A and B are shown apart, each in its own frame.
Chain A
């Protein structure tokens, strides 16, 4: 595991055990690919004592728009997949995550400056949350929809459908568990997501994107932007091809301006501050579902 995470005095060691470490370049995740920001910008991500953990890509407004395009392009395939298939893909993500639990534990510990044990608990919770949501795609329609008993000779039923492209401002902390807790419910129900990762602790989200890229998740279903939420969130809130926005990661005082922007295309706006360690509920899924009601006459 990366012993070179805790650089003394912020200076990376030349080598560990005589071998020079191979460091990772942290990039964006858009349309299933890992591009750098088109702006060429990066920003330093610091760990304990100001040590440099890496340079994260600082996404631009254009990167955000590209991510929305990628997310829009993925809506048809992902929402059109069978719920069983979506559940299997999500479960595959959990499998991949579990196999890399040690790596994520080290990354979370370094990013949030918490003890390995606490970081391990967060990673375990994040994996278990994926598993929980992996079971939902083929059940949510029965919970949220059903037949309606109308007063007439009609068969009438309501089904939940994904709203489309959902922009998500992920919470600052916990970097991994928070990210998972806001993204999994969005995509479990067939939406696609453009996610702005924790600004201060973006690296676990980028590593999670590597898991997503190798888990049979179609490109574009989850797009991860790192950078300044203050720069990216207004672009997403005002974007006419975004159907909904989750402002959970925006401080309450910062939400009003974004809600005003979101009004331009009548976006569904959701924000809920919660205890990430607590058991999740269905509300994050229901927030990004539409209800479609279908009528048909009955007769011979």
Chain B
């Protein structure tokens, strides 16, 4: 932590290394992006998006109601019927390549805006979110004229109008994960960004204009839960793609029952990160830190349950604590910052509530010495030990920088504990033994397994969950199925 010391860690002093903020111009107000134009909400309602690191209001955003969602879906339908549907794949590809290039050209602007609106450290938005978003468009551009080779039949057809609802943890990247495959497959889109992080999606709308994307192919309706519900329930939507909580996912599934809408759900997780005694501990510590503290733990695939073999528990925890003492929490726009702001007051309250439950249920709580900024939403990196499987902090998704440590003795016990959750999004394995990696990878009921690494993402690599973490995949050949009438 900045300017702090701990007993067993060297105290490092860091001079501020601020990223220049002036590269971004935030307008006082933003409209909805419908039919290629920015328009106010029909009833004139707006909401405010704030910088979670300072609580300063950033802009007033149009709040889309049912009428606006209807307009957006109609615009998407018209574009699908008249322009995007009939367009040859090779031409769609060119538009997507343009978007990929434009995101790369304006990468720093996107990164700064993302960190301001979301609270995530600039080094993450700069090195992960934005490059991956560009890569996602580039990758899928190449599929647009090769769909007949994707294994979904000789002449796969698009589904139609896709309604896409995305979360606040990776605002631009999730928009790219949704839009790129949908557009490549020939669908048109109505995207609903999260209430607390609308700005980069609206900048992406500007990029769509710059790319000359035909009006109505991409529409963006900003708002909160009611906007998302209106989009999911709209009869003109042929496909719903949702990333968010399992709770909301189930509501959408129920509302879509009997409609015949095609669905993909990317929901919550409670991943086990399994460390065996023979693991390279320094690497494992880095993997654990990356697994749970990347993006303040606002990651559905976060390694929130550390399962460590009993024989190395103490050694590993000692090294983990020492490492956590070197993490720097603070200004998201400082290039040295490791832990940024919690995205919203609401999320901070949830993290606090679950952490309090962890203590109340008997787990031991620890955080490194850490001074939190006075304004904004902050939560220190936190480790709970003495956690049992029945504790809420071992069962519920906290979606914050909170690690629950459990132990195991045998590989079989590790499997049983890792799978003891209704979720099944991801898992981690740390061991030097190749046969054990493959043995465990086969038995973990999770859609993504990182062995001796964690939180790696790539547009060519299918991502998605088992069980109540949802269904359908994003990325790779597999991800195309979600947007084809296969």
Interface residues of A (CB under 8 A from B): 143-144, 146, 148-152, 154, 156, 158, 163, 243, 255-257, 259-260, 262-266, 268, 283, 290-297
Contact = CB atoms under 8 A, between A and B. Distances in A.
Contacts of A156: 458, 460-461
Given A260-B258, A266-B469, A296-B453, 10 more contacts: A149-B460, A151-B135, A151-B458, A156-B458, A158-B462, A265-B422, A291-B447, A292-B446, A293-B461, A295-B456
Contacts of B250: 263-264, 266
Q: With a 10 A CB-CB cut-off, give which of A146, A156, A158, A243 has the most chain B CB atoms.
A: A158
Given A259-B257, A295-B449, A296-B451, A290 B466 contact: yes
B467 interface: yes
B441 interface: yes
Interface in B437-483: 437, 441, 446-453, 456, 458, 460-464, 466-471, 473, 476-478
Contacts of A295: 448-451, 453, 456, 461
Contacts of A256: 257-259
Contact of B254 (A154, A163, A263, A268): A263
A297 B453 contact: yes
Q: With a 10 A CB-CB cut-off, give which of B250, B437, B452, B471 has the most chain A CB atoms.
A: B471
A290 B447 contact: yes
B254 A148 contact: no
A158 B253 contact: no
A260 B151 CA distance: 31
B149 to A, nearest CB: 13
Contacts of A149: 460
B470 A266 contact: yes
B249 interface: yes
B351 interface: no
A148 B467 contact: no
A144 B258 CA distance: 28
Given A260-B254, A266-B246, A150 B464 contact: no
Interface of B: 135, 151, 246, 249-250, 253-254, 256-259, 265, 267, 422, 437, 441, 446-453, 456, 458, 460-464, 466-471, 473, 476-478, 486
Nearest to A163: B466
Given A150-B461, A291-B462, A266 B486 contact: no
Contacts of A151: 135, 458, 460
A259 B446 contact: no
B24 to A, nearest CB: 27
Contacts of A257: 257-258
A154 B447 contact: no
Mostly, the A contact residues are: mixed
B412 to A, nearest CB: 12
Contact of B462 (A163, A266, A293): A293
Contacts of B265: 266
Nearest to A296: B451
Mostly, the B contact residues are: mixed
Contact of A150 (B257, B456, B470): B456
B468 A291 contact: no
Contacts of A144: 151
A85 B135 CA distance: 42
30 contacts: A143-B151, A148-B462, A150-B460, A151-B135, A152-B456, A152-B458, A154-B453, A154-B456, A156-B460, A158-B462, A255-B257, A256-B257, A257-B257, A257-B258, A259-B258, A260-B258, A263-B254, A264-B250, A265-B467, A266-B253, A266-B267, A266-B470, A291-B478, A292-B448, A292-B449, A292-B466, A293-B461, A293-B463, A294-B450, A295-B449
Contacts of B464: 291
Contacts of A262: 253, 257
Given A148-B460, A150-B458, A266-B246, A294 B449 contact: yes
Contacts of A163: 466
Contact of A297 (B267, B441, B452, B486): B452
A264 B451 CA distance: 31
A87 B11 CA distance: 62
A192 to B, nearest CB: 15
Contacts of B473: 291
Contacts of B254: 259-260, 263
A156 B448 CA distance: 10
B422 A294 contact: no
Contacts of A293: 447-449, 461-463
Nearest to B466: A290
Contacts of B448: 292-295
A290 B472 CA distance: 8
A294 B453 CA distance: 10
Contacts of B453: 154, 295-297
Nearest to B481: A286
A259 B38 CA distance: 37
B329 to A, nearest CB: 28
A296 B452 CA distance: 6
A300 B302 CA distance: 27
Contacts of A283: 486
B40 to A, nearest CB: 35
A251 to B, nearest CB: 12
Q: With a 10 A CB-CB cut-off, give which of A259, A264, A268, A293 has the most chain B CB atoms.
A: A293
A158 B450 CA distance: 12
A176 to B, nearest CB: 28
A292 B419 CA distance: 14
Nearest to A263: B253
A148 B466 contact: no
A160 B61 CA distance: 43
A146 B486 CA distance: 20
Sort A-B residue pairs by CB-CB distance and give the 10 closest, nearest first: A256-B258, A263-B253, A259-B257, A150-B458, A260-B257, A296-B451, A266-B468, A148-B461, A294-B449, A263-B254
B457 to A, nearest CB: 9
Nearest to B423: A266
A125 B466 CA distance: 34
